[in-house]
A and B are shown apart, each in its own frame.
Chain A
Amino acid sequence: MNGTNEKNTGNQLSGEVVKVVSFGLGSEEYGVDIGQVQEIIRMVEITHVPRAPRFMEGVINLRGQLVPIIDLRTRFGMQRLEATKSTRIVVTEIGSKRVGMVVDNVSEVLNIPIENVEDAPEMIAGVGTEYIQGVGKVGDRLIIMLDLTMVISAEDKRDLETLDPQLAATT
């Protein structure tokens, strides 16, 4: 299996080098552990699922499998954008949960030395710190490393309660 992945189970930020897939969202650059990324696909038609949490964009048909899609902009409280040519869906797999995330663009795979990764600061450009695992420095770029488990968690009380009280009560 993937060596990086094995070493990093439990704490993804340990080991010598962290391999992350980096992508852009607004003016920031984000990253997720490459072990959690299954594939990256172009934007496809998303079927809206009514009464789902609002950050849940809908589901797509990925070779016969239903994959739920999260719009990261909505998730992070940023302004929604129409899909462009560079819009991508990053399909991730966390445990047995497969989730796609809509991002503005995908740039590259980065190797970030572990000593260049710092704990999450108090506040980063509107994104709640609960989603952030740390910040990696590559040259003068700052990569915000996401904690996917938190990103896909539907038990985000604050989000659910403010957006859809009825759903919060049923989940």
Chain B
Amino acid sequence: MADDVFDRQEFVAYFRDEAEELLQQIDADLLRLEEFVQSGNPEPEIINSLFRALHTIKGSAGMLGFTDAQSLAHKLENLCDLLRKDRMPLSEGSVDLLFAGRDFLTDLVESAVNDTPAPHGLTDYMGRLDQFAGIYEETSHVIEGTTGREFSADAVNEAGDVDQDQLAAFEAEVARLLEEAGGVPAAVAPATPAESVVAEPVAEAPVAPKKDAEKKDAPKRAAGQTIRVDIERLDTLLNLVGELVINRTRISDIAATMDRLMNDKSIEAPAALVAPLAKDLANSASMLARTSNEIQESIMKVRMVPIGQVFDRFPRLVRDVAKARGKEVALEISGAETDLDKTIVDEVGEPLMHLLRNCVDHGIETPEERERRGKPRAGTIALNAYHEGNQIIIEVSDDGNGIDLERVRKRGIAQGLVGPDDKLTDRELVELIFTPGFSTAETVSDVSGRGVGMDVVKKNITRLKGLFDVDSTPGAGTKFTIKLPLTLAIIQALLVRVVDELYAIPLDSVIESQRVEMTDVRTVHGNEVITLRGQVVPLLRVADFFELGGERDPEKVMIVIVGLQGRQVGLVVDGFQGEQEIVIKPLSVVVGRIPGISGATILGNGSISLIIDVHSLVSEAYASGNVARAEFSGV
């Protein structure tokens, strides 16, 4: 029984991964298919590819007893067959119908894997598909009966003796159904409240035949994160581990020889004989260092996945949004193979989605407007990713209208974010769009303009320790640039000494470090500040904050200036110990959340250094009044 449970869960997880990939493939195929709506003559390979993907999902779903997904895939297959045999016209309606089907299938796979109820509106949609299938049945024998062979696109042209009336009736019926189906636009999620009433009955087969204990465990396991690893990367790791093992043997050999020499009383000067062993040992140690470094690098690479995994879903998104907003947009993707840490790839999808929506909604003009301005009717959004040093750069640029700074200013005034007479630089105006709640949209659309958007994007990117920049040319377009670290697990840090412990400060928040004479330190409302290039910077004594005691140097202070949302704070420490790459390890849940500490790292000598969480350290210090609010007190 136990083995059985295990196997099934493994299969379910595999099914989900496979289906995810195939659904992505279906999406891509449908997008390509849509390009042929005008000509009405799609490349047969596209439909065949759709067919194959649906067929595989059908088969796997059937094997696991996910009957709903199986029957939906089957019906979609039939629909593709109608297209392939030219019995259904390739039109916007038919593509939308397929898109909607693809979305239902996605939901069904998810609900089957997690054992949650089937999506709303499924019965309705399946019913619609059945109607098509009905006509298919009715007409096929008419057509095939008269021509006497398998129906094909060519055959319809040749077959003069086909019952023309019946064919015409068939076409009219298909057109009517497609019209009806148009009521389910693909862009809108399949679940609409009204449909939920009809969700239950008849065709709604149970998601899975068995409902015993094993099903309860399934979602938990299935939800576990998996990663596909290039076998070559694993081979590299295996080789490195092999070297480690060889090294281990060598070191134990040395130890054994040394032991023998030291205990052999007949040897008069063991020290002389130990000398070459010491050299061997030193060699082993340096090899060990090299190997472990390489292992660290390789294991980081194993965590890397191409960012294309995220990009893949955007063509569909851009299509849907453009369609909903009556715009024509082409999405050009490059650099999809750029590698990035899995955790970042997972997190970066949402901000990018917001950005793309914004580009379509606010950036790209309507086709008519574009024509007036002498631009091509279809706008272009370019999504590009590449490595630069230890960072990955993602650019989202459009050839739309650019950010209308005058409009931003007016909206800013209307929303009370700036005063009517404030003189703002262009830079500051652009910054306004990152203010929570800010929106230039006059009306709230279903796409964007709810005031959730750019501030969320910026917040998400900042959380990933990334930088976010906007560059806009009025009338010519906007370019958003995101810079992200390749991984979150390893960071550059500045090691500082506070009393007698070493602390690590993430380098991305460090602006500079310096030694300042106590005579240059002034006090404002009892709190220490220094003046740095005309700016008043409050000081925060880390030892005091962490209640470490220790003595103060009466003559000078060592200060690490950190930047935080445009503000600067000087952290007072007792010594600088240089920069270093560190591996972040979380503190145990047992310790709980400690203000000012984000985790710990293990240094080269095996000792532990705590990592300072600059954000929570400074905000906590502000809250408890440990730091002068210099910039607000008008100094």
Residue A10 is within 8 A (CB to CB) of chain B in the complex: no
Contacts of B546 in A (CB 8 A): 50-51
Contact A49 B591, beta carbon cutoff 8 Å: yes
B23 at the interface (CB under 8 A from A): no
User: Across the interface, do A51 and B607 meet the contact criterion of CB distance under 8 Å?
Assistant: no
CB-contacts of B454-489 with A (<8 A): none
Instruction: Please tell me if the beta carbons of B606 and A49 are within 8 angstroms of each other in the complex.
Output: no
**Binary per-residue interface labels of chain B (592-627) against chain A in the complex, 1 for a CB within 8 Å, 0 otherwise:** 111111001010001111100000000000001000
Q: Which residue of chain A lies nearest to B620 when distances are taken between CB atoms in the complex?
A: A170
B588 pairs with A66, CB closer than 8 A: yes
A61-B608 in contact (CB<8A): yes
Structural contact, A97 and B592, CB atoms closer than 8 A:
no
CB distance from B153 to the nearest CB of A (A): 61
* Residues of the A chain whose Cβ atoms lie less than 8 Å from the Cβ of B609: 47
Task: Provide the residues of chain A in CB contact with B545, threshold 8 Å.
Answer: 50
Q: Is A21 an interface residue (CB 8 A)?
A: no
Q: Tell me if B585 is interfacial: C-beta within 8 Å of chain A.
A: yes
Kindly list chain A residues whose C-beta atoms are within 8 Å of the C-beta of B600: 47, 59, 66
A52 with B602: CB separation less than 8 A: no
Q: Are A51 and B594 in contact (CB under 8 A)?
A: yes
Give the one of B548, B590, B602, B608 with max A CB within 10 A: B590
B501: CB under 8 A from chain A? yes
Complex CA distance for A45 and B502, rounded to whole angstroms: 14
Given contacts A47-B501, A51-B547, A66-B600, contact A61 B590 (CB under 8 A): no
Partner of A66, one of B548, B593, B595, B608: B608
Q: How far is the CA of A3 from the CA of B548 in the complex (A)?
A: 46
B595 close to A98 (CB less than 8 A): no
Within the complex, what minimum Cβ distance (angstroms) separates B624 from chain A? 8
Which of chain B's residues have a CB closer than 8 A to the CB of A121?
none
Q: B590 contacts A97, CB within 8 Å?
A: yes
Q: B605: nearest residue on chain A (CB-CB)? A: A61
Taken residue by residue from 64 to 80, chain A's Cβ proximity to chain B (1 for < 8 Å, 0 otherwise) reads as 11111000000000000
Q: Is A32 at the interface (CB under 8 A from chain B)?
A: no
- Check B501 against A59 for contact (C-beta < 8 Å): no
- B543-566 vs A, CB cutoff 8 Å, 1 = contact: the mask equals 001111000000000000000000
Question: When the two chains form their complex, are residues B588 and A64 in contact, meaning their CB atoms are under 8 A apart?
Answer: no
Q: Is the CB of B589 closer than 8 A to any CB of chain A?
A: yes
B340 to chain A, nearest CB (A): 25
Q: Which of these, B585, B586, B588, contacts A98 with CB under 8 Å?
A: B588
Bound Cα distance A167, B546 (Å)? 12
Q: Which of B586, B589, B592, B602 has the most CB of A within 10 A?
A: B592
Please tell me which one of the listed residues A50, A65, A99, A170 contacts residue B590 in the complex, with CB atoms under 8 A apart. Answer: A99
The reply to whether the CB of B46 lies closer than 8 angstroms to some CB of chain A is no
B597 touches A50 (CB 8 A): yes
Q: Does B587 sit within 8 A of A, measured CB to CB?
A: yes
CB of B587 within 8 A of CB of A47, answer no
Residues in B with CB closer than 8 Å to A65 are 585
State A99–B591 Cα separation when bound (angstroms): 10
User: Bound state CA distance, A64 and B606, in angstroms?
Assistant: 8
Measured between C-beta atoms, what is the minimum distance from A24 to chain B in Å? 24
Task: Let me know if B602 and A154 touch, CB within 8 A.
Answer: no
Q: Please determine whether A50 and B589 come into contact, CB atoms closer than 8 angstroms.
A: no
Q: Is the CB of A49 within 8 A of B594?
A: yes
B594 in contact with A52 (CB, 8 Å): yes
Closest to A64 in B: B602
Q: Is there an interface contact between A53 and B592, defined as CB atoms closer than 8 Å?
A: yes
Contact with B587, one of A49, A64, A152, A154 (Cβ below 8 angstroms): A49
Q: Enumerate chain A residues within 8 angstroms of B595, measured Cβ to Cβ.
A: 51, 170
Q: State which of A45, A56, A61, A170 has its C-beta within 8 Å of the C-beta of B591.
A: A56
Task: Please provide the chain A residues from 19 to 49 with a CB less than 8 Å away from any CB of chain B in the complex.
Answer: 45, 47-49
In the complex the two chains form, is B548's CB within 8 Å of A50's CB?
A: yes
| A89 at the binding interface (Cβ < 8 Å) | no
**Given A48-B501, A51-B546, A66-B600, are A99 and B592 neighbors across the interface (CB < 8 Å)?**
no
Given A51-B546, A51-B547, A61-B606, residue A152 in contact with residue B585 (CB < 8 A): no
With A and B bound together, what is the CA distance between A97 and B268 in angstroms? 54
Whether B501 lies near A97 (C-beta < 8 A) is no
Instruction: Looking at the assembled complex, report how far the CB atom of B13 sits from the nearest CB atom of chain A, in whole angstroms.
Output: 21
Residues of B in contact with A (beta carbons under 8 Å apart): 501, 545-548, 585-597, 600, 602, 606-610, 624
24 of the cross-chain contacts (CB-CB < 8 Å) are A47-B609, A49-B591, A49-B594, A50-B594, A50-B597, A50-B610, A51-B546, A51-B596, A52-B592, A59-B600, A59-B608, A60-B608, A66-B586, A66-B587, A66-B602, A67-B588, A68-B590, A68-B591, A97-B590, A99-B588, A152-B590, A154-B592, A166-B624, A171-B593
Known contacts A47-B608, A51-B547, A51-B596; 14 further A-B pairs (Cβ under 8 A): A47-B600, A49-B610, A50-B545, A50-B548, A50-B610, A59-B600, A61-B608, A66-B585, A66-B608, A97-B589, A98-B588, A99-B588, A154-B591, A167-B592
